[in-house]
Amino acid sequence: MIALVMNDDELLQRALYGIENDGLALDARDNDGGLIKVEGQKAGFLANLEEPFSPDGYYTEGPYYQRYAMYPFLIFALAMHNVSPEMQVFEHKNNVLLKAVNALLNLSDADGEFFPLNDGQKGMSYYTSSLVTAVDVAYYYGEQNPQLLSIAQQQNEVLLDESGLSVAIGIRDGKSQPFVKKSINLRDGQNGDQGGVGILRYGNEELTLVFKYAAQGLSHGHYDKLSYSLYDKGNEVLQDYGLARFVNIGQKGGGNYLKENKTWAKQTIAHNTLTQNQTSHFNGDYETGSKYHSQLQFFDASKDDVQVVSAKEVNAYPGTEMQRTMAMIKLNNFENPVVLDIMKVSSASKNQYDFPFYFMGR
């Protein structure tokens, strides 16, 4: 943004495409010395719109870090839009930044708190200031989705710029519609082919199932293939552990992760999934886990009374295949839906299995 203010083309080049000769960035200039888009660049702002985000707007580190990242992504994109609209940053990768706002809102429970996938801190919600920015910018520079206005009403705050003004005017003029969070399958990976997160919802979030079959999630990822959590409105029924860290404690470095984050929170046994021979998926090795992802078998939420998601994991334990199929079924003789959970395991050897369910309550 300093480059834009100073009209410094070389500095802007560094920001957008990385530093030349760093072994990552490519020369991104045409014959006239102008900036051009480079396919496959590995560094800079545009590369960071490509690799961490899936085509659905899912951020591979999970919603906690997506919430953290959306503000700088959107503010720089807004600056580029104002100064160099021909770059079409908001349109980059088929409007991925604006899609990311919708994906992030869908990764929250009935109280607006983000699901604690990977290193996720519980209690973080879309009431945070970074999401005020995200909602206002997405409304004004997107398709002016009236459902975003209801989120802005809950936030009770807008930006002091033209996007915030447009949101305030939309609310004043009665354009607001409820933001309806439906069942959704959010793909992971740059091209959407590295697993994902399937969310099954019944009614007005009376029951929400979050099924994780995603990629490793970079350094904040957990070894939790085919794990899930379950919510009744905003209440956890089966919980995901999230992270283990101090928060805002000066004597602890302001918020450092505890050693228990690696020895417990990241490990398979801390999640609602299968552990083989008391060893975490991929033996708890980050480099190995980063090579693989689970495979979606099918996702079908077209019917309210029967919704199903199924995925297979074949790399977490070499020689062992796991397939988990989860169905949310509404039966006439039950007031609320039931969840059917089928874990099929086949292995070339005899193993010991631990299969925990971290139930919140009696």
Q: Is position 271 annotated as part of the catalytic site?
A: no
DSSP string, 78-91: HHHHHH-GGG-TTT
For residues 280 and 290, is the Cβ–Cβ distance under 8 A?
Answer: no
Measuring CA to CA, which residue among 204, 240, 233, 208 is closest to residue 64? Answer: 240
Q: Read off the pLDDT of residues 297-312 as tens digits, 9 standing for 90 and up.
A: 999 999 989 999 999 9
- In the chain, residues under CATH classification 2.70.98.70 are 184-354
Chain Cα centroid distance, residue 92: 19
Q: Which residue among the candidates 126, 140, 202, 220 is catalytic per the annotation?
A: 220
Distance CA 30, CA 202 (A): 52
Nearest Cα to 190, choosing from 323, 92, 300, 114? Answer: 92
pLDDT at 34 (0 to 100):
46
Q: What is the pLDDT of residues 124-152, one digit of tens each?
A: 999 999 999 999 999 999 999 999 999 99
Grade residue 327 by pLDDT with cuts at 50, 70 and 90. very high
- The correct CATH number of 184-354 out of 2.70.98.70, 2.30.110.10, 3.40.50.1370, 3.30.465.10 is 2.70.98.70
Sign of CA dihedral 163, 168, 173, 174: positive
Is there a catalytic annotation at residue 220? Answer: yes
pLDDT band, very low/low/confident/very high, at 20 (cuts 50, 70, 90): low
pLDDT tens, position by position, 245-258: 887 777 777 778 89
Q: Which helix (H) or strand (E) holds 195?
A: none
pLDDT exceeds 60 at position 27? no
In what helix (H) or strand (E) does residue 72 lie, and over which residues does it extend?
helix 63-83
User: Picking from 32-41, 68-77, 161-170, 254-263, which range would have the lowest pLDDT averaged per residue?
Assistant: 32-41
DSSP string spanning 96-142? HHHHHHHHHHHTB-TTSBBP--SS--TT-BTTSHHHHHHHHHHHHHT
Q: Which of 58, 65, 139, 228 is catalytic?
A: 65
